[in-house]
Structure 1
Amino acid sequence: MRASLENGKTQYKIRLSGIDAPERRQAFGDRSRQNLAGLVFRKYLVVEWDKVDRYKRIIGKVILDGKDVNLSQITAGYAGHYKEYQREQPFADRQSYARAEGEARTRRLGLWLDAVPVAPWDFRRNRH
């Protein structure tokens, strides 16, 4: 499904599919949120989605001016490719997200800058 969020009149909770961003208390958590807000705040967006999670969030890919915002977060190093759910992604997205994460890690961007970077999924696992 494609949904446009029209005229800023309705707010939707959207979980960006295929990515996992740092937690609030994790290094780069605030920067990740700030980067995403800078990309999408008060902009006309299209969301491609087909699922709602148990928290009633739309799970989808956010498109801004024809560009994949989810992929932009990974490319900037502010999210990782969430491989646990990669089977739910189209093959092309799975490939581009994995490649973008590899490049961000190699270039030590965002959360991959730390000497011993901790992926968001590892941070949550070790927190408990």
Structure 2
Amino acid sequence: MFRLCLVFFLLTACRADEPSRALINGVVIKVKDGDSLVIRDDQNQEHQLRLAFIDAPEYSQPFASEARRNLDRWVYRKRVQVQVMDSDRYQRKVVVLYVGSTDINSEQIKAGFAWHYQYFARGKQSSADYDRYQSLEQQARLGKIGLWQESEPLPPWDYRKAHKGN
């Protein structure tokens, strides 16, 4: 009996460390860039959001404004459902965003306006979604869609590293 209680306690303690998978419903009130936005939830609270598992071009990179406009077309003033995956160092909720049943994060990749952010996706994203995001990026690359029209687009994480402190 002691062992059974110990196992139950350990399993419960491990689950407490898992990131929250809360769901939030609301309306998008601002699109900041190709992978961040603000919603107002049903309790009239505002939430700063960062789209999980993708990375869109930074403001001064090619296709940054197109990425923001594409996200805006999908979500601005629309009712959305947010699956919270984590939070970042800026206190934004890191989320998968849905309009109806459409995964908007993957739509940014499909349209060629974001990279699949493999570094953060590994181990956090389901293997099926990981493979789907990879496939969507590969299709956009091969089709030279969006930012993939550039001969060698610079990933935002490399751009940030090169411009750190500027």
Give your verdict on TM over 0.5. yes
In the alignment, structure 1 residue 82 sits paired with structure 2 residue 117: yes
Distance 1:102 1:126 in 2: 25
Could you tell me whether the CA contact under 8 Å between 1:16 and 1:60 is conserved in 2? yes
1:52 shift after superposition: 1.4
Distance 1:50 1:80 in 2: 18
15-24 or 83-92, which deviates more: 83-92
Distance 1:78 1:50 in 2: 21
Deviations 1:19-74 (A, max 9, x none): 00000000000110111011000001000113211211010100111010000000
Matches within 5 A, 1:1-128: 1-5=22-26, 6=41, 9-87=44-122, 88-128=124-164
1:104 shift after superposition: 0.6
Distance 1:50 1:79 in 2: 18
If you compute each CA radius of gyration, which structure gives the higher value, 1 or 2? 2
Identity of aligned residues (%): 35
CA RMSD in angstroms comes to 1.5
1:7 shift after superposition: 5.8
109-118 or 13-22, which deviates more: 109-118
For 2:131, give the aligned amino acid. Q
Deviations 1:96-127 (A, max 9, x none): 11111111111111111112222222222232
Q: TM-score, normalised by structure 1?
A: 0.92
Q: Give the 3 Å change call, closer, same or farther, for CA 10–37 of structure 1 in structure 2.
A: farther
SS state of the match for residue 118, structure 1? coil
Distance 1:71 1:107 in 2: 16
**Structure 2: gaps spanning 5 or more residues:** 1-21, 27-40
Could you tell me whether the CA contact under 8 Å between 1:111 and 1:118 is conserved in 2? no
Higher relative contact order (CA 8 A, sep 6+): 1
For 2:23, give the aligned amino acid. R
40-49 or 83-92, which deviates more: 83-92
Distance 2:151 2:70 in 1: 22
